[in-house]
Amino acid sequence: MQRLLLKRIQAGLEGLGEFAQLAIDTAWSIRYQRPSWRHFVDQLHFIGVKSQSVVLTTGAATGMVLCAQTYFQFHKVKMDTATGAVVSVGMCSELGPVLAGLMLTGRVGAAMSAELGTMKVTEQIDALRTLATHPVDYLVVPRVLATIVSAPLLTAQSVVVGILASYLIGVNLLGIEGAYYLANMRRYTDPVDVLTGLIKAVIFGTIISLVSCLKGLGCRQGAEGVGHATTESVVAASISILVVNFFLTLLLTRLFHG
């Protein structure tokens, strides 16, 4: 039992070391190498444009559910019009970036790992090295940059759609006065709440892309290895987002609100 625990701890530390090394290599490549803009645009379209439907649907559904549940509780103490403030702050600083990150993990992270894992299994990555092309420069950097750019934009869209959907549900279905709904939303939602969500989105996008590329590049041989790499990337990125979100909330709250 003790030996198994030590092996798991060692594997976890090795994984963190590999993640840190890939992050350093990627940052070095971005700083000193010229990225392939054609590949960047292709990845931007795949990650950003094609993920809009999933992220926007999630944002709208989350906004409506949050509005309904908040209203049901606030109605008991006659605070119906405060529903908009809770929805706005929650969507901007917490639910928007977290759920957008999880949706990107399921859609984009899995695709990245499967693609790079297939390239590893079919020895295409070894062929790149033979042609004096570093896999980080050619494969990882465009994906990381595209995810970093796409994540905050998708998060902003998700937040806007979620707040709009909550307004429609709150005013038209639950009977909340629209003017008070908007007034309380504007009163209690600070610009730092929006900034907090965008900062989280950038960090989550970085985590998703690096973890997915790491699992893909470290894929074991065979179709089974590709499947394992894809599953591990989704699980690791999702857990990382949830854990990192907690510490980011504490850090950014202390930083912006003293």
Whether residue 101 has pLDDT greater than 90: yes
User: Tell me, what's the pLDDT at 243?
Assistant: 94
pTM over 0.85: yes
Instruction: Pick the closest to residue 79 from 163, 177, 190 (CA basis).
Output: 177
User: Tell me, what's the pLDDT at 220?
Assistant: 80
Distance from the Cα of residue 11 to its chain's centroid: 25
φ/ψ of residue 10, rounded to 5: -65, -40
Whether residue 139 has pLDDT greater than 80: yes
User: Tell me, what's the pLDDT at 258?
Assistant: 65
For 176, half-sphere exposure in the C-beta direction (CA atoms, 13 angstrom radius) is 30
Tokens found for residue 122: 């079919």
Q: Are the C-beta atoms of residues 226 and 114 closer than 8 Å to each other? A: yes
Tokens found for residue 135: 């896999």
- Residue showing tokens 């610009």: 191
CA separation, residue 219 to residues 119, 187, 231, 233 (Å): 9, 50, 11, 11
Q: Categorize the per-residue pLDDT at 120 as very low, low, confident or very high, splitting at 50, 70 and 90.
A: confident
